[in-house]
Amino acid sequence: MKVLALATQKGGTGKSSLAVSLAVAAQERGLKVYVVDLDPQATARKWFERREAEGPEVSTIDPSRLAAGLSALARKGFDLVIIDTPGVDAPATTAAMHAADLCLVPARPSVADIEAARPTIRTLSALGKPFLFVLNQCPPGRSIRTTDAYRALLLMGAVVGVTLALRADHLDALAQGLGVTERDPNGKAAAEIRDLLLWLLLKLEGGNDEEAARVA
């Protein structure tokens, strides 16, 4: 079983929306997926309560019981667990970082987001945990802002070679209890999430960035 944590000590970066849409896309690929919501706002859990389709299940858990909960999920044969975390420096975020095989750090293409990511990266580096940045909520199409943000993040660590645009499908899917790949299977948001998922799955299996880029 692999554990992916979405972690950044800043709110509004789209962690919850990414978590549930990645989970749905992974389930569509045949993986047995579970989402753990450690955020007190419980955005992912509320999404699950609105959801009519079966799975992927979302549950909240006390951070002190995270390790035991993950062990139980592994025994039940889950392939992938995705952890959504608070947008602040909290014990829940640290617990998720400890448990993760890979941390995904979403950032919008703004100076504020890039600066806010630094404490998260310091913590991950101290823990020796692998991480990847992903640029989220970017202006559609080519943008100097996105390019500059990508270069700035590269100075701090590896960046996923898939950028996610700010699209209404993400908001609509979250409100309807859907993943973006269900909201509009042929839409651009769905294609971006599938590409991101492929990149992350390969990295979780030990692939390098060049292999991920070829697949995605």
CA torsion, ordered 153, 23, 207, 5, to nearest 10 deg? 50
Which whole number is the average pLDDT over 71-89?
Answer: 93
Q: How sure is the predictor about 142, in pLDDT bands with cuts at 50, 70 and 90?
A: confident
Average pLDDT of the residues of the chain:
92
The letter for the amino acid at 199 is W
Residue 84, pLDDT > 70, answer yes
141 pLDDT band, cuts 50/70/90, is confident
Give Cα 198 to chain centroid, integer Å.
13
Half-sphere exposure of 163 (CA within 13 A, CB side): 21
Which segment, 9-13, 149-153, 188-192, is predicted with the most confidence on average?
Answer: 188-192
pLDDT for res 192 = 97
How wide is the angle at C-alpha 71 spanned by C-alphas 49 and 132, nearest 5°? 75
Assign 90 a pLDDT band (cuts: 50, 70, 90).
confident
Pick the CATH number of 2-206 from 3.40.50.300, 3.30.70.100, 3.40.980.10, 3.40.47.10: 3.40.50.300
Average pLDDT (138-153) is: 89
When pLDDT is averaged across residues 18-33 and rounded to a whole number, the result is 98
Query: Domain residues of the chain, as ranges?
Result: 2-206
Query: How far is 148 from 35, CA to CA, in rounded Å?
Result: 32
Q: Does residue 70 surpass a pLDDT of 80? A: yes
| CA distances to 2, 56, 77, 101, 143 from 31, in Å | 11, 10, 10, 17, 34
Q: The tokens of 187 are what?
A: 């839409």
Other beta carbons within 10 angstroms of residue 181's beta carbon come to 26
